[in-house]
Chain A
């Protein structure tokens, strides 16, 4: 199977790409092509404007036939971008695709260097390394693995819901896992949505119940993924189902138990109302919660704390659904693809102490105001401040925890629009004077700018300038009891003091606090700020670097509802593509043991993280199970007798690359 003897003479075709001006403006591509022509084994060496274009690929195929080429090198962009393209082209030209080697002279050379001479020399070195490397290339067989048709979706916000329904409607089986007791995510907490002012619940709750009732969707709320094993097409997932202390099969969501709880009033801050109201130990997050099943909070319940409760809830339940002895349950499932839609977390306004959140009662976050203006919110939609007053003036401060080097540098993309929406709603509810303090109004979406115009017509005030502080520093008697917003009005070039009754902080979007743990669990990457990293910012926005795992919604970066839904659809489509193809090609970069060279020392056995290496006790040799090997090559580096080799990364290939890189090192003379 592995042919070490190279019988046939090596005939190399080398192609250097201009990539328009991207490469050619820095690297002297002609000089490189000319130079490579002089290297041993090279039969064809030429430059071309766009190697990845059809004519570029056809050029390779034509040369393979005309010049009987048996090795192809393309010097262009990163192999992570176009290696697959060229391998396919080479294969179409009748050559085994693994006779191909790529040289990165764009990302690693022309885009990062300014000195044309040095860049050209570096390109020559890299090209020479590839020329020497391909002498050792071998024909390999592409491996294929089957894709399990079931999909795991993590996160039941609007993105997860939309992806789940898309897949389920196309007949795929979906497991939707949500950490909270209900699906709906942040969207369920919003009052209206911009710019249409649709009621968020009215458009979301039908989708939530579709999820609950869909025959293809298994919905597990109050559950978390704890373990992920396997690889694309064949993931084994362990899910922890936290105890609700309610038998889900029996509970019908009548809520009699809540009413009969020994607590007449709630004492625990209500998560759904962001702490603006109190809930009982036995509760349902909100009236349309899905599933419609209550749960008991053991931190608050007297029975859990003292064991001496009258348990009036148990008496109240006809269906005997309450079970104080319920234990957490572990579920194991197999899926082929995974969509992560784990959402975001709002910026903690206390991190900007000079805006007074947590210090002055009438300073609110935007999420709190969503609940405050909502008809099913803590005040039934009446805008009553924490000190019992109705606001006559409101200041909305944009970019709190966004576009700020001291907190988060990114724009959270949604705050401008939701601030406009809240300004509209606050005016509608209270007829108050509303001031928006903004840096720029970013209304870049369909009908967004028009919505901004509408707000201007509604006589909402806009002050362009960053707010310095919110304080209770009254200079005049008319300011007593008010919150004073100090900000520079950059339009007129003065510092203004605006006394208001209520301050709304438009808090930005951040990665979930445990996004790093989740990233490790699923073996994907995060960008610097902690959002999940897409495979390519433009061309693979929902893929990750791990095959079979896709991302959707705000876990990838701040985005609004339309964008989250669009991305969820895209992620579902990517998963469907894999499922319907039925199998996926794998890099044949697995390791193998050259039996004759193996001394049976066992060094490699413990080093493999996938337990792919076993020892044949009769033969006293190590053996690698190709199906389990992921191709890291750690065992290759560890083998003391050099008996393990890794396809595509054999020692000879790397040594020849090193040699090629350094071969014309100028001799230093004194």
Chain B
């Protein structure tokens, strides 16, 4: 199966490491994809609250473009950023379920010479890697099982809510299973889907940091060596404010936060550069957990 990818704005700015690691991992696993041509901003979650129809039209332009690019059949459009994933999924669902929304949006698209027919299925790379590619195949490709590494998988609010397309909306386990497939150990913690603060860290920082702190503190308390995220904003929030949180709340938080695709890449034996590891503020020290497969047998 061939995929279309929709990087979205974040993956070209703060989330570059996310895109780099996705590209590297897909290449290593020989997953074929091409980028959606002439894509535009999904509108994020903010536009929907201003004008729903316009917001749907903006997002739907990407879906219509996907249909232009792929002539036939169902199109799997990969959206790695949680906000993009949610907005595009929501647009896809609303256009499917509500004929009046479909008519209005298509009327707007029509002005740009576009039309959406409903062939797109929006997918998250986590879903694609675990459910399409498969854990067993990933396991087989792992060169450096991350034995002993304790990982707190953090899903955030948007990938499983409100559309629980590939996992439970309150108790997702996809990333935890992936972590196991990489030889590492998932940490059981109850805050997997609690909000990271989202854009509040930039607007009402006090509120944002309070939420942020709860996550970091609990992950560290449960002995996690690293937190994994699947969203550029979550990654940014969790990684960048640790010192400020420590200062304000007198905490001692110090935990690296990486993209799940980066950890896959490390286990597959890809270079740090390829995975954009140098872009992380807190570089995780994973070497001590990396045991080449051959050595494992002797250990």
Contacts and interface: CB of A to CB of B under 8 A. Distances in A.
A contacts B: CB pair < 8 Å: yes
A473 B168 contact: no
B171 A353 contact: yes
A57 B188 CA distance: 72
B159 to A, nearest CB: 17
A473 B218 CA distance: 8
A354 B218 contact: no
Interface of B: 168, 170-171, 188-191, 214, 218
B168 A353 contact: yes
A406 B218 CA distance: 29
Contacts of B188: 359
Interface string A461-486: 00000001101110100000000000
Contacts of B218: 473
Contacts of B214: 475
16 contacts: A353-B168, A353-B170, A353-B171, A354-B170, A354-B171, A359-B188, A468-B170, A469-B170, A469-B190, A471-B190, A472-B190, A473-B189, A473-B190, A473-B191, A473-B218, A475-B214
Interface of A: 353-354, 359, 468-469, 471-473, 475
A25 B5 CA distance: 58
Contacts of B168: 353
A468 to B, nearest CB: 8
B206 to A, nearest CB: 18
A143 B168 CA distance: 58
A499 to B, nearest CB: 13
A471 B190 CA distance: 6
Contacts of B170: 353-354, 468-469
A401 B214 CA distance: 30
A89 B214 CA distance: 77
A212 B170 CA distance: 50
A475 B217 CA distance: 10
A89 B160 CA distance: 62
A469 to B, nearest CB: 7
Contacts of B171: 353-354
A221 B53 CA distance: 65
Contacts of A468: 170
5 cross-chain pairs, A with B, having the tightest CB-CB distances, nearest first: A471-B190, A353-B171, A473-B190, A354-B170, A354-B171
Contacts of A354: 170-171
Nearest to A468: B170
Nearest to A484: B190
Contacts of A469: 170, 190
A83 to B, nearest CB: 42
A364 B209 CA distance: 36
A472 B171 CA distance: 14
A353 B188 CA distance: 13
Nearest to B190: A471
B189 to A, nearest CB: 8
B272 to A, nearest CB: 34
A354 B214 CA distance: 19
A359 B189 CA distance: 12
A386 B116 CA distance: 57
A359 B168 CA distance: 17
A468 B218 CA distance: 19
A469 B171 CA distance: 10
A469 B168 CA distance: 13
Given A354-B170, A359-B188, A472-B190, 13 more contacts: A353-B168, A353-B170, A353-B171, A354-B171, A468-B170, A469-B170, A469-B190, A471-B190, A473-B189, A473-B190, A473-B191, A473-B218, A475-B214
A478 to B, nearest CB: 16
A476 to B, nearest CB: 12
Contacts of B189: 473
A354 B191 CA distance: 11
Contacts of A475: 214
Nearest to B221: A474
Nearest to B191: A473
A359 B171 CA distance: 13
A496 to B, nearest CB: 16
A353 B218 CA distance: 20
Nearest to B168: A353
A353 to B, nearest CB: 4
A475 B211 CA distance: 12
B227 to A, nearest CB: 16
B249 to A, nearest CB: 13
A353 B193 CA distance: 14
Contacts of B190: 469, 471-473
B89 to A, nearest CB: 19
A468 B171 CA distance: 11
Nearest to B214: A475
A469 B169 CA distance: 12
A473 B222 CA distance: 10
B164 to A, nearest CB: 9
A473 B170 CA distance: 15
A473 B214 CA distance: 10
B92 to A, nearest CB: 22
A468 B161 CA distance: 14
A472 B191 CA distance: 10
A532 B3 CA distance: 47
A475 B171 CA distance: 20
B170 to A, nearest CB: 5
A471 B194 CA distance: 13
A449 to B, nearest CB: 34
A475 B218 CA distance: 9
A491 B161 CA distance: 26
Contacts of A359: 188
A290 B152 CA distance: 52
B214 to A, nearest CB: 8
A332 B191 CA distance: 59
A353 B168 CA distance: 9
Nearest to A475: B214
B207 to A, nearest CB: 15
A226 to B, nearest CB: 39
Nearest to A486: B190
A472 B188 CA distance: 10
Nearest to B194: A473
A473 B188 CA distance: 11
A354 B164 CA distance: 15
A663 to B, nearest CB: 37
Listed residue (B170, B171, B190) with the most chain A CB atoms within 10 angstroms of its CB = B190
A535 to B, nearest CB: 37
A267 to B, nearest CB: 29
Contacts of A471: 190
B219 to A, nearest CB: 11
A591 B189 CA distance: 68
B217 to A, nearest CB: 9
A468 B193 CA distance: 12
A354 B160 CA distance: 14
A468 B169 CA distance: 12
A19 B188 CA distance: 63
A425 B298 CA distance: 57
A471 B193 CA distance: 13
A278 to B, nearest CB: 27
A349 to B, nearest CB: 13
A471 to B, nearest CB: 3
Nearest to A473: B190
A613 to B, nearest CB: 51
B213 to A, nearest CB: 11
Contacts of B191: 473
B144 to A, nearest CB: 31
A481 to B, nearest CB: 14
A142 to B, nearest CB: 53
A353 B170 CA distance: 9
